[in-house]
Every structure is written in structure tokens, then in C-alpha cells.
Amino acid sequence: MVLLDQALENSRESFASGDFIAKLSSLVRLVTDSQNALSNEDLAKYYYEGLLDILVELGIRTKIIDNPIKNAPPFLIGERIESSELKTILLYGHGDTVPLQKGLWHDGISPNILKIIDEKIYGRGVADNKGQHFINLTALRSVLKTRKKLGFNLKIIFEMGEEIGSPGLLELCEINKDYFKSDVLIASDGPRVSVDVPTVFLGSRGAINFELEVKYREGAHHSGNWGGVLRDPGVRLSHALSVIADKNGKILIENWKPTSLTTEVRDRLKSLPATISDTLEIDENWGEPKLSPNEKLFGWNSFSILALKSGDIDVPVNAIQPSAKALCQLRFVVGTDTDKVISSLRDHLDHYGFEDIKITMENKFE
Ligand SMILES: [Zn+2]
């Protein structure tokens, strides 16, 4: 049997013997919701009680280190160096999850007790991210068992704050630039685009978030007395949004379009399977006209309104509101001039007479 087959056999064996499920159950049992008030000590238990034994088995020298940002959850880092001549893989994973949301699951499922129904594994963290990083670690263990070495150097970063925006991750990487120096980063996180199609992303779309705000005055003014003579921020903002994307989601700002969707890329995208989920119908006529769904997803940019606010929709009053806000996002691919996204938006809005709309940048390239 060739080595690869043996390694695959070892992996299959860990499923068949029940080892994989037993260990994954123990990871799911550890409640690691980073959005709630769990202490950093509780979150760090995932390292001590969840991961440490398998990392030791893999011969990784690990350390748990404080977050460079005060009071943010600690990191677990480590390395297994086989030879300075070999390539180095950096493996990333996060042990924290979103809240358990008990009661919102199908009947009979308790989120921190792993359950298998019709060949699907349920439990908080199974699909994000305990399942994925445990699969990767199990695969490494199979390789090590088969040929007694990995054949490459391995470095790892685990965090417990991904679901709260990864506080300190950037700083950690900056401080430890040399330690983490690697040839490739493998981060198995996020969903497959389709259950049946294993998905390898060689990059994912970036995001620029920004807020649009129109503010004309303090306080709301009665619409019976003032309607018709006071500018309505909600009306102005919706018109401004309508010049950013048309009614079918097509981006209307020329500089926001990528230059990278070449014939070569389109040809390659054609060879990909139709990767849209069978559980959600897509809207064929949404987005850039004449592009295929895969071209829209992997080769093009998209604009979204993440949240909109003017007045209080639960307690509306007869009044012209003083302000309106929209939190917006541009998802972008390579080939987008990201430095010009906000300035092009400013020019575009000004061109259409929306000088009164203020733009505030929310983040950079998440
Ligand atoms: Zn995740």
C-alpha cells in the first residue's frame, strides 16, 4: 500500500472506530461562546482540556500566551520543526463559537451535546470551527502515524475570539512575525459552498464596511407642521443608495468593479461545478447582468446594505426624522482598487448631488 493510501486508511479508521466522534463530542461539550461573559480562563480550557493532548501527540511544542490586547482571550501557538530545509505550513483554527442558542435547534438537539442524525453531525462548533480544525489535526495525525514524520514544518495559531472579531490577532502576528513565517497558511473555516462539493478557497473576498449618514437637525419635527418644507433624511438616503446599486443589485460605481475577470478566469470558473447550495434558491437576475453565479461569487464584487435606520420602526411617530443611517459593505475580489473605494464613492455621490451624505469608514479589509 502506498503511503497516501495508508494515511487515508488511518483517517477512515479514526471514523470507523468512533474515536473521531468521541473526541469531537468532548470538544463540543466544552462551552466556548466568546460573545457571552465567559472568562478568559474558561475559554482557555478549550486549549488545556480540548486540544493539548492531540497537539502533544503531534509533537508540537505549544505555548498559551496572553492576548496583546488587554482582557481579550489568550492564544495558543506552537511549532513542530522537522528541518530548516523543509517548507512550513501555518495552521489556524478558532475554538470559540457563537452563543449556544438553546431552544432554537431542532427538537431533541442540545447544542453542546453532539448528535448524529441521518449522517449529519449536529452540535455548536461542529461546522465552525471545532469540526474543521479537529479534522485537520486528525489528518496530520494520520500522516505522522503512517510515515513517522510530516515531511514539512508545522506552525499553529489558535484563538478564542474569532466570533468577536479576533481581537489581538493582527497584533499577535505583527509581534511574532518571524515565529509565524511560513510558506502557506491553511485556515479551514466557514462553510462549503455546497454540501456535496469539498471547497478549497485560495483566498476569499475582502470586505470594506462603511456607514452613510444624513443628519440635518436635532430632534424629530411633527410631519403635520413641517412635512414638505424640511428635507427628509430617509428619502435622501434611499435615493443616494439607489445610485450606488440599481434595483437589481448591479454596482453603478465604475471604480468599484474588478479588472480581474479575464477570459482566462472565466474559462477556469466554467470548469467548476455549480456550487450553489441545494437548500437555498438563488436569485438568477440579481447582481451583475450576464455573469454566471460562479462568476458573481468568485470573480466579481457585491454591494450590500447590512443595516438601515431612521426613526424607530417599532414605535413610529408622525415626524420628519432628523437623521438616517445605512451600514453598507462592498465585498471585493483581487483586481479591485481598494484604496479608491471610498474616494470613488465620495465622487459618485457628489456627482449626483449627495454632498450632504457623510461617509465613515468602519473597517479595513476583513
Ligand atoms: Zn469560524
Nearest CA to 140 out of 186, 76, 200 is that of 186
Cα of 188 to ligand 1 centre, how many Å?
8
pLDDT of the residue at 280 = 77
Which residue type is seen at 101? Answer: Q
Which of 96, 163, 232, 295 does the annotation list as catalytic? 96
Largest CA distance in the chain: 86
pLDDT 10s digits, 353-362:
999 999 998 7
Query: Above 90 in pLDDT, residue 338?
Result: yes
pTM of the predicted structure, to 2 decimals: 0.71
Which of 162, 163, 232, 295 does the annotation list as catalytic? 162
Q: Alpha-carbon distance 76 to 55, whole Å?
A: 11
Query: Above 50 in pLDDT, residue 364?
Result: no
Query: Above 90 in pLDDT, residue 281?
Result: no
Percent of the chain with pLDDT over 90: 86
- In three-state secondary structure terms, 140 is helix
Cα of 347 to ligand 1 centre, how many Å?
36
pLDDT of the residue at 363 = 60
Active site residue 33: no
Q: Alpha-carbon distance 9 to 93, whole Å?
A: 25
Cα of 146 to ligand 1 centre, how many Å?
30
Active site residue 96: yes
Cα of 33 to ligand 1 centre, how many Å?
12
- The mean pLDDT of 98-112, rounded to a whole number, is 92
Q: How would residue 191 be classed by pLDDT, with cut points 50, 70 and 90?
A: confident
Q: Give the chain's domains with CATH numbers.
A: 3-187 (3.40.630.10), 206-361 (3.30.70.360)
Query: Above 60 in pLDDT, residue 347?
Result: yes
Q: How would residue 203 be classed by pLDDT, with cut points 50, 70 and 90?
A: confident
Cα of 265 to ligand 1 centre, how many Å?
28
